[in-house]
Amino acid sequence: MKKILFIILFFSAGYLFSQDVKVFETSNDFTEIMGAFQRRVHDASRKFKYFVRNESPFDFEDGKEGELFNKKAKRTIGNKKYFIFEIYDDENVSFLFFVNREDSKSIVFFFINERHGEATECSASEIDKAFALYQEGD
């Protein structure tokens, strides 16, 4: 599954990094921000047919990840430990990211309307299963 997500992200990378990014929430409180992220993921799952979930490294300070954000977004994020952002395209694709700056990790939900590889059908129960996997891994 990680290989499939990597392929999708690899081929989408040029496209993704040319899009505007919307920063939703920032916080130093894990419980608060994770609750907000779960609500956003559930909302997105109602708009799309499939999702892929992945955990990946995310270096906010360096590399292409740092190029994602304009000055306003960087000010919004500030020095907060956690933030949520989205890259969205005309109701066909949505990437929803939860970033932990302390350990440079992220959880990514990639939403699509056409099935690709290991994509899972969107439903509240499947989303909850995906979050349970994350919580068990901590």
Q: How does pLDDT run across 110-134, given as a tens digit for each residue?
A: 999 988 788 999 998 999 888 887 6
Q: Count up the domains in the chain and report the number.
A: 1
| Residue 124 resides in a domain | yes
The 10s digit of each residue's pLDDT in 39-60 is 999 999 999 999 999 888 887 7
The number of beta carbons lying within 10 Å of the beta carbon of residue 82 is: 21
| Residue 15 resides in a domain | no
| Residue 29 resides in a domain | yes
- Domain hosting 118: range is 2-10+20-137
Model confidence, pTM: 0.79
